[in-house]
Amino acid sequence: MLGRVPEYRNLIGGELVRADRTMDTVNPATGEVWAQIPASGAREAEAAVAAARAAFPAWSAMPALGRAHFLRKVSELFGRHAEELARLETRDNGRILRDTLKKDLPGMAYLWQLAAGQCLDAVKGDTVVLGPDTLGLTRREPYGVAVCIIPWNSPVSTFSAKAAYALAAGNTVIVKPAEQASASVLRLGELLAEVFPPGVLNIVSGLGEEVGDALVRHRDVAKVSLTGSTATGQAITRASADALKPLTFELGGKSPNIVFPDADLDAAAQGVTVNSVYTGNAGQVCVAGSRILVHRSIWDDLLGRIRRICAGLVLDDPLDLATTMGPIVSAGQFERVRSYLETAEKEGAELVFGGRAGAEVVPGLPGGYWVAPTLYTTEDNGLRICQEEIFGPVAVAIPFESDEQALAIANDSPYGLAAGVWTRDLGRAHRFVRDLESGTVWVNTYRQMPPGLPFGGVKDSGYGHDSVLEYTREKAAIIQI
């Protein structure tokens, strides 16, 4: 403890370790410092890599069912500590408690169970008879030390999606959480120190350009997985080029949500607002459907429904279960979102509602980073608010008149992470699933991300996806009998 503020520590080699420096973590609903976290650098990165490297031989040689036993223990841990972790995460990043507690954390217990069940998949290979006296076979092997870099918007969930599969495959792991929201993951590290053998799982927090860069460049790191911005993915690609590390990137998005006249408009309005860009994490999700493409024949009707839904949103203390939309995560992100509100006005987009940023949005919580739910309209998909990821509760509606025009607008983006299609026409649904340049397409729903299905993007949204096989490499052998 430092004064009245709790201090969290890194997990390195099975021990909770202080870094040389610390930094403040801020409650985004109030702007107040509530904890301190390690501001790790090259020294802590070196120690974590050394611990993970030392633990790798025994962990990778352990039978798959032995590793599964450890992963099931993590699942049980989530069952006991879900509420504590949910409250920590909400306090740290502003994601409303009704989402962290009711949606995110319960699913993590299942995800670790699922990963435990896939430990055997990581050691399966194929056999090929090459001739009467020649046999070919393949085997899968873990990479070694895997670095998992996770974002601030859903830290515990993303931690689980990466670490569980990497560990199941036999890798040892170093998790680097985002500096804006590390506390819940560091607390999880305290709990997991009692589960895994020393060095199998390590957690090191700090600035990306310091500890993150040191980890990515380290010659003993064999695999890197990132969920984050496209700019961060580009930086990691450059930093890891000398060692030619295999990379998995789930990056940014500017996802289209396309509503056709035959759609269930009540469901569609709910899907493009509550389930997409406004509630929960205030639009701070990579798959936010922040481009709402609406057929011109239902333009006024759908926008009216969207307006009514957003008028009923409750912006308040994110720890209150009645709250339906939280704050922006940090002062820096708040300024970024506010700059896009100014950009939209300069570009000539028409404001439908919202457009406000600052403490006046939620008078009862002064000092926090609040932006009102905001909707613009435009006919020009080339505007910056249509092409660039804002990462806030800001959407833009664009009209279209034909399937071909809708598809052209949807694909006119540097990103390709996700898309939504709202229609009762089965043929149209299948055509858009086929033709949308997107890693995931939801039809008559949005933002369902069940464990067990791949999740990744194309174009500037990255490549690969977190799975057991993604954390293995394949080796071939030819045996002359």
Catalytic residues: 250
SS3 191: helix
Residues 6+ apart with CB under 8 A from 15: 193, 198
| Residue from 297, 95, 60, 75 nearest 164 by CA | 75
List, in sequence order, every residue forming a beta bridge with 291; answer none if it has no partner.
256, 396
| Residue from 115, 460, 449, 420 nearest 269 by CA | 420
CA-to-CA distance for 62 and 265, rounded, in angstroms? 53
Bridge-based pairing state of the strands 291-295 and 256-259: parallel
CA-to-CA distance for 126 and 137, rounded, in angstroms? 5
Do 315 and 362 form a contact (C-beta atoms < 8 A)? yes
Count Cα atoms within 13 angstroms, Cβ side, for 195. 22
Burial (CB count <10 Å: 0-12, 13-18, 19+), residue 3 = exposed
Amino acid at 120: L
* DSSP-assigned states of every residue in 225-285: EEES-HHHHHHHHHHTGGGT--EEEE-----EEEE-TTS-HHHHHHHHIIIIISSBTTT-S
The tokens of 347 are what?
A: 């570009």
CA-to-CA distance for 58 and 299, rounded, in angstroms? 61
Amino acid at 67: R
